[in-house]
Amino acid sequence: MRLVLNKIFLALSVLSALLGLGFLGWILVTLFIEGLSSLHFSLFINDLVDGGLRNLIVGQLILAFLAGAIGIPLGMLAGIYIREYGRGKYAEFIRDLSDIMMSAPSIVIGAFVYAIAVAPFGGANGFAGILALSIMMIPIIINTTDSMLSLVPKELREAGIALGASKYRVILDIVIKAAKVGIMTGVLLAFARIAGETAPLLFTSETSNYFSLDLTQSFPSLTVSIYNLANEPEESSRDLAWAASFILTMMVLVINLVGRFITRNKHK
């Protein structure tokens, strides 16, 4: 009976995996067919107001990288603190709060940032978008850093202390190096999530048809513009939405590949 149950469970697991991969493949094939057919060079040299995507691509990269500049160090430091230094209820409170924030709907975070960084300042702005994305990024990195550091054997820490190294040197030179692949994976997952987010930007930075580097005003965003263009009745607008979706997917893929390449080389 136990062998039969094992085989049934294995068959269900394989079927579920194939079903998930099938839907993922369907989405990617559709995206590649529609996106590639709508892609042309002029999209990269013209802004949306002239039928291109240049301002949206630049805007999306600025929002994502500035959010990463805030979220990555804060998330990693918080993860290191609760694993290596935190004790008792205070560390548990931060860990529980991080778990709750990680499962919070992105639209709720967008509404929260709207209340504190958009409404008081009279309108949408790029800074609010960066704040919303960084808030989404921090709990993912905290959770990943905490989990990866917990996998580092206690004996490594004790060996470092026995050699006379201070605690922070042991953490920097031994513990983080041992967990860097897992931490980097968490950072990439967090970055990939915020790079493709739409809901929080709808409430905060919105988007613009024009090229802009002014973060105090509505800021061009690829994801929000995809949402807007996909709802337009014109065929040309929907083609732009497909092309923008394809470019966004490629951006996330390239970031993942570059991160894994750097991590692998450092690991050798």
Per-residue pLDDT of the chain (268 residues), as tens digits, is: 788 889 899 999 999 999 999 998 998 899 888 888 888 888 889 898 888 899 999 999 999 999 999 999 999 999 999 888 877 788 888 888 888 888 888 889 999 999 999 999 888 999 999 999 999 999 999 999 999 999 888 888 888 888 888 888 888 888 888 888 888 888 888 888 888 888 889 889 988 889 989 999 999 999 999 989 988 888 888 889 999 999 988 888 887 777 667 666 655 5
112 vs 107: CA distance, rounded Å: 9
Q: What is the residue type of 87?
A: R
Q: What is the pLDDT of residue 117?
A: 92
Q: Taking the model in full, what pTM does it have?
A: 0.85
Q: What is the pLDDT of residue 211?
A: 92
CB 135 within 8 A of CB 101: yes
Which residues contact residue 240 at a Cβ distance below 8 angstroms, ignoring those fewer than 6 apart? 38, 43, 48, 51, 53, 229
Distance between CA 177 and CA 148 in Å, rounded? 11
The separation between CA 254 and the C-alpha centre of its own chain, rounded to angstroms, equals 13
Evaluate whether 110 touches 203 at the Cβ level (below 8 Å). yes
Provide DSSP, 52-102.
--HHHHHHHHHHHHHHHHHHHHHHHHHHHIIIII--HHHHHHHHHHHHHHH
| pLDDT attached to residue 268 | 54
- Structure confidence at residue 266 (pLDDT): 56
